[in-house]
Structure 1
Amino acid sequence: MTSQAVPSGRLTDHIGLGVLSARFHRDLLEEVINRTGCREKRSRRLPAHVVIRYVIAMGLYGQESAEEVMRRLVGGLRTMGSWSDDWQVPTASAIMQARQRLGVAPVKELFARAAVPVAGSGTKGSWLAGRRLMAIDGTSFDVADTSTNVERFGRMGSGANASAYPKVQVTAVIECGSRAVVGAVLGPCSIGERTQAGELTGVTEPGMLLLADSGFYSFELFNRFAAGGADLAWRVKASVSVQLVRWLSDGSYLALIYRPGLSAQRRRHLAQTVTDGGQVPADTARLVQVVDYTVPDRNPDGELITVITTILDPYEVSAMDLATAYHDRWEEESALNEIKSDLRGRGGVLQSKIPDLVEQQIWGLLLAHYAIRALLVDAADEAGYDPDRLSFIRGLRLVRRQVTDQAAISP
């Protein structure tokens, strides 16, 4: 008769997240813990690296109780001969205290370290003219109705029109082809997504094409993102002044956009300067290519869509290709919906009652979503599919089964 060896060290040293472990491996967790200074001062039943994994698991099991999430993490250890009889699943109170000790910083830092673009050079639907398609968008999450959450995050509206729950505003940069969130900012719902977007300029880089809806446009923000080296293709409202400079061969045209507050005479002078081959101050005006088009099946009334881009050569990227790329922006709306509906649960409320734990839980949701999306891209690339053909919900179910059934002993 042979006996199974019990792993050395604390039982919780061997808890992982199954197929997600490759994305958030133990060495990376230890680096994050050291960098953020959250390592426990004494031996605990729930050390920091376990609590980080627990927070990610909360993102996978958004409708489960605190104890049930922990049970799912350790569920298979007993059958694998790795269960210590003197270890019990911690109570909800103990888990909350462990989460408070951990804080927000290590989970946020893990996201910053781990959440990078995952589309490879052959990933379908991810590239245009050698540029990685990215998008920026925002959403909000309902959170537990506690006085501290209201104080930190606020409600939408006021008085009788105030939202039933406090809301956290989240603005994110998303890789269109994979739908993986690779940058995010959290804050009170009173802070608009355009303001939050200013904190995400460091996420983009040369070799990317960043798409954005008209709600994000301002001359200052457009310039800030362009200064980082990424190309931009942003929709603008009809109220945004664009000064025609020259028509291009594909029906688009070069135009100037202006810093707000310039007089009509000053704008005409700048446009003439460009027409004559001169340069204009970057903080005053910028030359862009403008693509105007309509989409009859989406806009039966013939609404004109205007997209401005930093790509000035129509032979490099045509107006048709830019219009098609802009509509890829709707892919990232699906990504945010996956987080809000499939992970959190449709109509669900984040139950953390303390603001720091609310933010911690949202970073956990983002990490869980990122890992599943990365897994789906790996599978799609292997099969030669567009990642859009693979169901996020099926991927989520697979990961949940892996976590529960395998117990995920860390490699």
Structure 2
Amino acid sequence: MRVAAGVFAPGHLGDLTQFLPFEMVDEVLAATRRTQQRVRLLPARVVVYLVLAGCLFAELGYGQVWRKLTAGLTGLDLTEPSSGTLREARQRLGSTPLRALFDLLRGPAVTTATHAVRWRGLLVTATDGTTMSVADAEAVRVRYHKQRGNHGGAGYPALRLSVLLTCGTRSIIDAVFAPLGTSELDQARSLARSLAAGMLLLADRNYAAADLIQTLAATRADLLIRCKNGRRLPVIRRYHDGSWLSTIGTVRVRVVDAEISVQTIDGVRTGSYRLITTLLDPRTHPASELVKLYHRRWEVETAYLEIKSSILGGRVLRARTPDGIDQEVYALLVVYQILRTAMTDATDSRPGTGPDRASFTTALNAARDQVTHAAGVLADTVIDLVGAIGRAVLAHLLPERRIRVKTRMIKRSNSKYQARGPNVDRRSYKATIAIDIITNTC
């Protein structure tokens, strides 16, 4: 067992500490002026790791999280703080250090599997928004309100989170969150600060607003966005691959109309897609490849599933003040990001293994075990580039992705209530997909 000395010993994240070392946390605390004036039983550094560990063990109270952090510290004379002491320590810390940590860690994870994150030299990214339920406390309701609906609205207030994600590694480049009164389009305008030339942004048809497209295109990043099939767009020029040149506002775009057929043993289902892109040359960026590439937009939905279902287990955020919510959301983003970094490092250590074969739940459970055992906190003299989390990921790689389809289901599938009834077909089917570019549209 190798951990920090004295009262600093509980401040760790097991094997994940290698991605969030003491020096980084101490520098952030100093920069945000949150370092304690005198060393207490709960130094600020320890509280940072406590808040992060609270995300790994979302089902536990902070007193139980503390016992997870100290479970492997046998032989050390450590006190057990009361729940009130832990609460006061988190309040003293505030949200600023966690936001600063996220700013240091965010960005596309470095990977040798460039084919997984780039397409024809462009870094493939995606954006979308989601909502997260927060505690129904009086102090929280001042900022966060309940969604409108039948019978007086939702049971809990909620916030809206939007991220800019790297496809392939699924690491977060940037994130913003706010009350529900802030729309996804407003948040996309904020995320535009992290777009640049050499990036390709995938987004759904909610983001096809003319003014937003102009804002995003001004960053010099390229766009591939779905829009409504019936949207009237002028035809300036037609190309040999079936796509055509048009304009949205002041931005020149190329339009691709496609019909996608999915054949399974259950039959054939067909749907129409209209995509707009700022990649105007059909020779270097063929229409058929753009249609296939757009499917990767769903990786941002997978990331939200991992945060909301795998990490949180569908639970409401525990913080009961607005600043506490800020602290908890940034902590969630930090934990997600370092888990993704550990997973990417693991698959990179085995040439030819794509980052999408790493299992998030495997990495998450291995990280929890390492926290409980206080293992891998300090690096040995021989540096282990993969670590215990990486070895667990490599031992349980997901199979190569197969083309398959599955009926959309309620997201909280572990509910004891079958919202769609007992006769819904929930099986997955192997599928054959055919893409036809439509050339006779206007």
TM-score bracket for the superposition, by shorter chain length: 0.7 to 0.9
Cα deviation for residue 396 of structure 1 reads: 0.8
Instruction: Tell me if the contact between 2:17 and 2:377 (Cα under 8 Å) persists in the aligned partners.
Output: no
**2:37 is aligned with 1:46:** no
Cα deviation for residue 304 of structure 1 reads: 2.2
Q: Counterpart of 1:22 in 2: which secondary structure?
A: helix
TM-score scaled by length of structure 1:
0.86
Instruction: Tell me if the contact between 2:94 and 2:323 (Cα under 8 Å) persists in the aligned partners.
Output: yes
**Percentage of pairs with the same residue:** 33
Q: Which amino acid aligns with 1:314?
A: P
* Cα deviation 1:285-321 (Å, max 9, x = unaligned): 1111111113223997644211111111112211122
Aligned equivalent of 2:73, options 77, 82, 96: 77
Counterparts of 1:319 and 1:90, CA distance in 2: 61
**Equivalence map 1:6-405=2 (5 Å):** 8=5, 10-12=6-8, 15-78=11-74, 81=75, 83=76, 85=77, 87-157=78-148, 160-238=151-229, 240-258=231-249, 285-297=250-262, 302-346=270-314, 348-383=315-350, 384-405=352-373
Q: Which amino acid aligns with 2:52?
A: I
Counterparts of 1:397 and 1:11, CA distance in 2: 27
Instruction: Tell me if the contact between 2:222 and 2:279 (Cα under 8 Å) persists in the aligned partners.
Output: yes
Counterparts of 1:252 and 1:222, CA distance in 2: 19
Cα deviation for residue 190 of structure 1 reads: 2.2
Counterparts of 2:2 and 2:230, CA distance in 1: 71
TM-score scaled by length of structure 2:
0.80
Instruction: Tell me if the contact between 1:194 and 1:217 (Cα under 8 Å) persists in the aligned partners.
Output: no
* Cα deviation 1:306-351 (Å, max 9, x = unaligned): 11111111122111221111110001101111100000013x1112
Taking structure 1 as reference, are residues 6 and 22 closer, same or farther at Cα in structure 2, changes over 3 Å only? Answer: closer
Instruction: Tell me if the contact between 1:241 and 1:257 (Cα under 8 Å) persists in the aligned partners.
Output: no
Aligned CA RMSD, in angstroms, stands at 2.2
Cα deviation for residue 161 of structure 1 reads: 3.9
Gaps of 5+ in 1: 259-284
Counterparts of 2:311 and 2:316, CA distance in 1: 12
Instruction: Tell me if the contact between 1:15 and 1:409 (Cα under 8 Å) persists in the aligned partners.
Output: no
Counterparts of 2:114 and 2:70, CA distance in 1: 35
Cα deviation for residue 209 of structure 1 reads: 0.8
Q: Which amino acid aligns with 1:26?
A: F
Instruction: Tell me if the contact between 1:376 and 1:395 (Cα under 8 Å) persists in the aligned partners.
Output: yes
Taking structure 1 as reference, are residues 66 and 227 closer, same or farther at Cα in structure 2, changes over 3 Å only? Answer: same
Taking structure 1 as reference, are residues 5 and 60 closer, same or farther at Cα in structure 2, changes over 3 Å only? Answer: closer
Counterparts of 1:6 and 1:396, CA distance in 2: 21
Which has the bigger relative contact order, CA under 8 A and spacing at least 6? 1
Instruction: Tell me if the contact between 1:26 and 1:410 (Cα under 8 Å) persists in the aligned partners.
Output: no
Q: Counterpart of 1:157 in 2: which secondary structure?
A: coil
Q: Counterpart of 2:113 in 1: which secondary structure?
A: coil
Q: Counterpart of 1:154 in 2: which secondary structure?
A: coil
* Cα deviation 1:138-190 (Å, max 9, x = unaligned): 11111111112122111110572411001011011111101122211111122
Counterparts of 2:154 and 2:358, CA distance in 1: 35
